[in-house]
Every structure is written in structure tokens, then in C-alpha cells.
Amino acid sequence: MRVSFNALSESIIGQLGEFSSAQVRLQRQASSGQRISSADEDPLAAQRLLDSRAESDQLAQFAKNVSTQRDLSTASQGSIHSLQKIADRAAEIATRSVGVNGQQDLAQYATEVNQLIEQTLNNSNAKLGDSYLFGGTNTRQVPFTATRNGAGDITGVTYQGNASDSAVDITQGESLSVRVPGSNSTGSGTTGLLADSRSGADLFAHLISLRDHLRAGNVTAINSADSGSLIADGNHLIDQLGQNAVTIARLDMASSSNSSRSQMLDQLKASVNGVDLAQTLTNLTRTQTAYQVALQSGAKLLNLSLLNYLQ
């Protein structure tokens, strides 16, 4: 049976086209390291890749959230520790002042407590970047403002933040809020750092009371009220440090979990879409050789067929 010239040429051109497409595909795989470039090449594998990439994007957001929250927790930890040391020192002064008879010594203690009040204000208005740490969700306004007398001494402190918190997702199915309100008088929600109606903590008020009683020489009031209140404030801040440590531990666990899951997804994507570079380059060389052979053979066949066709 005689094969027509058109049929033979179409067959050769089709074969050359297949070899050419194979070369393009193998070159792309070798350069990108990826097996699939479009969903129609392997729909099931492509869907697995899309799902994995979506989860990878989610994990990247979790990692960003964890990093931000850990920075906030670490910054808060330093300030809370400083406040706890202030409360301890004030309680120590209150205890020692009970055995002091001279007003001059009491006045010196009062001067130190006045300095502790200023330090407390500075620590309670701590910031990380442009964000205040202890204003609840009101992070752009200074949390505590002081009222002063004519001598410049703090006589009262007003809390301008709120008692709210805002949780963010740190891993699949887990959210966490690290912001601590400076004060909470609502009787519910997140415990206030310096003042909380449930525990009776109120560091500013108790420091001011101690200073004023020292100045007045009222050792009885210091012994009956200030000393116990400041010890309680110190214990309250120790509890806050404990909560902070738990928060940091949870963030570290979430970070580790996210990292492990991300590595597993990378391995999954590599197994689904990765290529063996050495094998791919070998296949590319073979395909290029086959293409050249087919091109040369096709040219000969077409020439012979053309001569037969003309005869």
C-alpha cells in the first residue's frame, strides 16, 4: 500500500512536535525543579499542591503572629519584673519603718518611695515600638497619667486604657492574647497588672499611701495597712510573671509545632512536585538526541517520498 505524501509528512511533523514538547517540559523541570506547571498535567497532584500551599501560607501567618506576640511578651516581662522589684522594696521599707523612731529617717524613706512611684509610672507606660504594653487594646494612648501637687509629687494616677484583650491565632485551632491591661475594675476578664478589683491590688495607691504616711510619721497606719497591701501587690506581680512565663512557653510550643508542620509540607510538596535533576537531565539528553535523529530521518523520508510522489 502506498502511503500518501501528506499523511507521511503529517506523521513526521507530529512526532517532531511530541519530541519538541517533551524537550520544553524537561527543560522547564530541570530549571525550576518542579514536575508540574499546570493543573492539567496531573489534576490530583495539582490539587494536593494547592492545598499544601494554602496551608503553608497559613503557617507563615501563624509564625508572624507568634513572633509579634513573643516580642510583646518579652518586653512585658522586663517591665513586670521591674514593677515586682519596686513592690518588694516598698514592702521592705514599710516593714523597716515600723522600728524607726526618728522623723528624719522616715522622711528619707518617703523620698525613696517617691522615687519608686516615678519608676512605677515609667514602667507602667512602657512601649514596644509605637505600642503601649499595658493599655489593653488601647495601644496608642499612654495608659497611666499622673496628677501632681505644687512640688511635682504624684498624688494620684488615672488609667486611660481598657480591660480588653485581643487574641490572635498562633497555630491551628489555638489563639492567644498576650496583652495585659494595666488596670481592671470590671470584676471579670484579664487580670489587671497594677490594679485589679478582684484581688485588691493597687500598686500606685498603696505606694502613695506609704509615702504620705512616712511623711506624716504615721507608723501605725504603715504597719496596719501599707505593709500588708504592698506585700500583696508584690505577690500579685509574681503571679503576673508566672502568667507571662506560661504565655511565652505556649508561644514557643506553637512555634515549634508550626515549624515541624511547615517542614512536613515542604517534604510533601517535594515528593509530589519535585524532580530528580540527574534523571531529568538524562531524559532531556535522550529526548534531544531522539529529536535530532527523528529530524534527520524525517528529512530523508520526506525527500524519498517526494521523489516517489513525483514519479
**For residue 144, what are the β-bridge partners?**
159
Cell of 238: 509574681
Is 0.85 topped by the overall pTM?
no
Query: Does 306 score more than 50 pLDDT?
Result: no
3-class SS string, 76-125? HHHHHHHHHHHHHHHHHHHHHHCCCCCHHHHHHHHHHHHHHHHHHHHHHC
**For residue 165, what are the β-bridge partners?**
none
C-alpha distances in angstroms, 53 versus 28, 42, 47, 56, 58? Answer: 20, 16, 10, 5, 9
pLDDT, tens digit, 9 for 90 and up, residues 59-111: 999 999 999 999 999 999 999 999 999 999 999 999 999 888 789 999 999 99
CA–CA separation, 311 and 129 (whole Å): 89
CA–CA separation, 235 and 229 (whole Å): 10
CA–CA separation, 306 and 5 (whole Å): 7
Three-state DSSP class for residue 34:
strand
What are φ and ψ of residue 125, in 5° steps?
Answer: -105, 25
Look at residues 96, 224, 75, 212 and name the one whose alpha carbon lies nearest to residue 153.
Answer: 212
CATH fourth-level superfamily of 54-266: f41 fragment of flagellin, N-terminal domain (1.20.1330.10)
Three-state DSSP class for residue 168:
strand
Sign of CA dihedral 256, 65, 250, 54: negative
Amino acid at 99: G
Residue 145 has what DSSP assignment?
A: E
Structure confidence at residue 166 (pLDDT) = 85
**Cβ atoms of residues 125 and 150 within 8 Å:** no
**Strand extents, DSSP E, the chain:** 127-128, 131-132, 144-148, 154-159, 168-171, 174-176, 183-184, 195-196, 201-202
Query: pLDDT band for position 56 (50/70/90)?
Result: confident
Sign of CA dihedral 299, 303, 308, 309: positive
Three-state DSSP class for residue 182:
coil
**Cβ atoms of residues 306 and 5 within 8 Å:** yes
Structure confidence at residue 301 (pLDDT) = 54
pLDDT, tens digit, 9 for 90 and up, residues 110-167: 999 999 999 999 999 999 999 999 999 999 999 999 999 999 999 999 999 999 988 9
**Cβ atoms of residues 130 and 140 within 8 Å:** yes
